[in-house]
Structures are given as C-alpha cells and as structure tokens.
Structure 1
Amino acid sequence: MGASLGSKSRGGRSRRAPMAEINVTPLVDVMLVLLIIFMVTAPLLVAGVPVDLPESRAGALDQQAKPVQIALDKDGALFIDDQPVSDAALPQRLSAIAAEPAPPEGRRIYLRADKALDYGRVMRVMGELNRAGLNHVALVSVGEEKT
C-alpha cells in the first residue's frame, strides 16, 4: 500500500509542474522601505524662513494655486517667498504681485509672523497688503498643542 506523491514519467523520474505563482514578499519589503524613507525625508524638504508660529484651533485651507508667502521672523525681517525684502521696497513688491494675473479663485496671501513679534509690526505689513489691493490674506499658525 503505497501512495504516489509526485507524478512520474516513463523513466521513473519525477516531473514537476511549472510554478504559476509570483512571490510578492520581496516586493512588499522593498515598498515598505521606500515608504519609510519618503515619510522621513518629506518633512525635511520644506524650506523657508524659520518662524515660531502661534497656536490656533482653526482648520486648514483648501488651496489649489500656490499662494504668495510673506514671513516675518523673530527679528522683524521681512521675506516674500523666502527672499528678503526691505520695508522701503515692500509697497513696490506688493504692487507688482497685485498686478500679476490672478487665478479664478483670487490671489491668496499667506502671512506667517513669529509669535514674539510686536503686533504693530504685523499690522503695518497687513496695511501695506490692503493698500496694494491684496485682501485675501490668511494668517498662518500651527495646530493647538495637546496637553
């Protein structure tokens, strides 16, 4: 009473059927490693002016077009899209931005100001934005800290 485990051909040699499965384990391993690499490096790709933003409970804005970013660092230095701008040159730069063709949803300005700055300094920049006709200003903050 014997059982045959493999198919035998005439010469007594066993013949194996071709394997029709693909081993996906190495593919999954490589993809997980790549995912971890991208998750670690993605936050490092954001370059800009280091600003200590205040906290807020407001939600994020849904924006399709790239907005103009204006930043005030802790020393009060002014930057438009990461390029330093003097106070005297600010009105001309804002007028040039306002003269550019705007997207259909309107031109959005993101204003990032360090929380240690004087309120009057931020309001002077907002006044210049208003004078240039750039009225869609969003104040950028970080999310509320969980305690």
Structure 2
Amino acid sequence: MGANVATAKPRARRGRRRGKHRAMMAEINITPMVDVMLVLLIIFMVAAPLMTVGVPVELPKTAATALPAVEEEPLTVSITAEGAITLMKTEITADELIPKLRAIAAERSDNKVFLRADGRVPYEIVAQVMGALNSGGFNNIGLVTDTGGPDMGGQ
C-alpha cells in the first residue's frame, strides 16, 4: 500500500504563513497628533487672557461692551488699591510715567493706552493719571473695567 505522491493533493494551509511578514503600512496615523493639538489649543485658549497684564487689581464692573482687539500688546497703566502706578508689569513713580510711555510709544505704531484702576482707588488719583496722560500727548485712553455691572436703566 503505497501512496501515489503525484496524485495526492496538498492540504491548504489556513492563516498566515510562518516565514513571511505582512507588508509595511504606508499610511500615517494622525489621530494621536490631532488629539494632542486639540488639548493644547484648549489650554492656550484658557491661558491667553490671563497672560496680558500681571498686576492684580479689582476692576469696577460696568455694562460697557469690550473694545475691539488690537494686534500689538496694548500699553497698560495700572493703579493698585494702594495707589501704586504700574506701567505694563513694572512699578514706577508718577514722575517716570510720561517719559517711559513716550519712549515705549516711539517704537510702536499705536499709542492707545489702557488705564486699569482698582475700584477702591479714589477718583482723584485716576483723574490725575488721566490728566498726566492727556498732557503727555496720549489722547487715546481706554478705561478697563469688568463686564456684568449695573445697566443704569439703559437698554
């Protein structure tokens, strides 16, 4: 009883062959990169408003709408509750305010100044700083306040 080798059908193998590997995948999986980028976008959207000026003042609340966004970082003068004057993030004296503002404004295209004053600062000090800015040639002054204050009967 011999087997005829020529007439025997080879059995078909199921599954992968052992000696051969699959071809390399030529596509780039960008899903993890998109996930990371979306997380970073959310982090920067939350952190960006907090990075403008680091002087802590409690702004008064008004019903005024926000000013349009500007391309440059705005010149910001802050008055703390104690009456200290801060230009951007540097505390200065009242005598240094106008010369330093002029030096900074000479290098900028826009000379708009944002004035931030703590709500507990007397109006007299705010008016004096505004008068000094005006007499120093800075006529475009924006008062920074928080939204959500009283409407005072307006619509």
Determine if the TM-score, normalized by the shorter chain, exceeds 0.5: yes
Q: How does 1:105-124 map to 2 (within 5 A)?
A: 106-124=110-128
For residue 11 of structure 1, what is the amino acid of its counterpart?
A
For residue 136 of structure 1, what is the amino acid of its counterpart?
N
Counterpart of 1:56 in structure 2 is: 62
TM-score by length of 2: 0.66
2-side partners of 1:114 and 1:32: how far apart? 36
Higher alpha-carbon deviation: 123-132 or 61-70: 61-70
Instruction: State the Cα RMSD in Å.
Output: 3.3
Q: Deviations over 1:109-131 (max 9, x none)?
A: 01000011100100100011111
1:28 Cα deviation (Å)? 6.4
Q: Deviations over 1:72-104 (max 9, x none)?
A: 000000011111111222232234345x0441x
Whose radius of gyration is greater, 1 or 2? 2
Counterpart of 2:75 in structure 1 is: 68
Sequence identity (%): 44
Counterpart of 1:3 in structure 2 is: none
Unpaired runs of 5+ residues, structure 2, are 1-10, 17-21, 151-155
Unpaired runs of 5+ residues, structure 1, are 1-9
Pick closer, same or farther for the CA change 1:134–1:97 going to 2, 3 Å: farther
Counterpart of 2:4 in structure 1 is: none
Counterpart of 1:12 in structure 2 is: 13
3-state SS in 1 of match to 2:116? strand
Higher alpha-carbon deviation: 119-128 or 83-92: 83-92
Q: How does 1:15-30 map to 2 (within 5 A)?
A: 30=36
3-state SS in 1 of match to 2:95? coil
Alignment partner of 1:91 is 2:92: no
Pick closer, same or farther for the CA change 1:122–1:44 going to 2, 3 Å: closer
Pick closer, same or farther for the CA change 1:30–1:117 going to 2, 3 Å: same
3-state SS in 2 of match to 1:84? strand
TM-score by length of 1: 0.69
1:19 Cα deviation (Å)? 8.6
Pick closer, same or farther for the CA change 1:126–1:39 going to 2, 3 Å: closer
3-state SS in 1 of match to 2:94? coil
2-side partners of 1:122 and 1:22: how far apart? 59
